[in-house]
Amino acid sequence: MNFVNIHTHNSLENGQIGLTDHPLQIPFLPKKGQYYSVGIHPWSVDKFYDVLWKNRLEELADHPQVAAIGECGLDRVVKTSLNLQKKFFISQLEIAEEKQLPVIIHAVHTYSDLLEISKNRNPSVPWIIHGYNGNAETTGLLLRRNFYFSFGESLLKNQKKLNSSFLKVPFERMFFETDESSVPIKSIYKFASDLLNKSIEELQKIVLNNFNCMFAKI
Ligand SMILES: [Zn+2]
């Protein structure tokens, strides 16, 4: 059975299904049999000087191998102005809505901003927070706004705070990812399945089902 890897910056290896991140500023040269999310990372928003990028993203969103918008989002740790980040993030959310594609979200110290934006916009497409590491209380608030959660390498740090947050997430809202790390996706599933008291195979099946429901076109 395949491991779903919802967010990676590398090509997917055999035995994995998921989305490779493609930053919009790089020429899109899709590999056969792979699927992508395309977007502008909040660290890169100051590289775009005009609004032509919107046409480019809309065009790529129609590509049969593009299955999601992102990663895009908000980051309070970088120096780039948060207002400029918000402008780019919201435009990408609008394109995702128009194209009916899920969104892969990068969020650093901005979970409350995400909650506010979600309340204002009431999205009809899934919003997945990648590399999620919020506390259990934040997870509860995000769950009420229908967010999905993708857990990566930081889960392996075995921290009480993230473990208890992870255990609050219902199976149907859960994904896993390698992002930029070289940790095998299987190690993340192994750790998570131990926390859940399930077998790796049971967890693979749950996440594969989540993936198939969300990405009907793959
Ligand atoms: Zn990433």
CA atoms within 13 A on the CB side of 40: 26
Cα(71) to centroid of ligand 1, in Å? Answer: 7
Integer Cα distance of 63 and 35 in angstroms: 10
Neighbours of 144 (CB within 10 A): 10
Backbone angles phi and psi of 37, in degrees to 5: -110, 140
CB-CB contact of 84 with 45 (8 Å): yes
pLDDT tens string for the chain (218 positions)? 899 999 999 999 889 999 999 999 999 999 999 999 999 999 999 998 888 999 999 999 999 999 999 999 999 999 999 999 999 999 999 999 999 999 999 999 999 999 999 999 999 999 999 999 999 999 999 999 999 999 999 999 999 999 999 999 999 999 999 999 999 999 999 999 999 999 999 999 999 999 999 998 77
Cα(72) to centroid of ligand 1, in Å? Answer: 9
- Report how many domains make up the chain: 1
Among 87, 172, 182, 74, smallest CA distance to 130 is for 74
| Residue 171 Ramachandran class (φ > 0 left, ψ -120 to 50 alpha, else beta) | alpha
Cα(177) to centroid of ligand 1, in Å? Answer: 9
Integer Cα distance of 89 and 92 in angstroms: 5
Residues 150, 110, 181, 43: is their CA dihedral positive or negative?
Answer: positive
Q: Which amino acid is at 156?
A: L
Looking up residue 114, the CATH number of its domain turns out to be 3.20.20.140
Integer Cα distance of 134 and 61 in angstroms: 29
Q: Specify the pairing of strand 35-39 against strand 16-23.
A: parallel
Cα(168) to centroid of ligand 1, in Å? Answer: 23
Containing domain of residue 34, as a range? 3-214
Cβ < 5 A residues, ion ligand 1: 179
Cα(6) to centroid of ligand 1, in Å? Answer: 10
pLDDT in the model for residue 7: 98
pLDDT in the model for residue 30: 97
pLDDT in the model for residue 212: 96
Cα(152) to centroid of ligand 1, in Å? Answer: 10
Q: In Å, how far from its chain's centre is CA 30?
A: 19
Cα(59) to centroid of ligand 1, in Å? Answer: 22
CB-CB contact of 28 with 63 (8 Å): yes
The alpha-carbon radius of gyration of the chain (Å, integer) is: 16
Cα(22) to centroid of ligand 1, in Å? Answer: 10
CB-CB contact of 97 with 125 (8 Å): yes
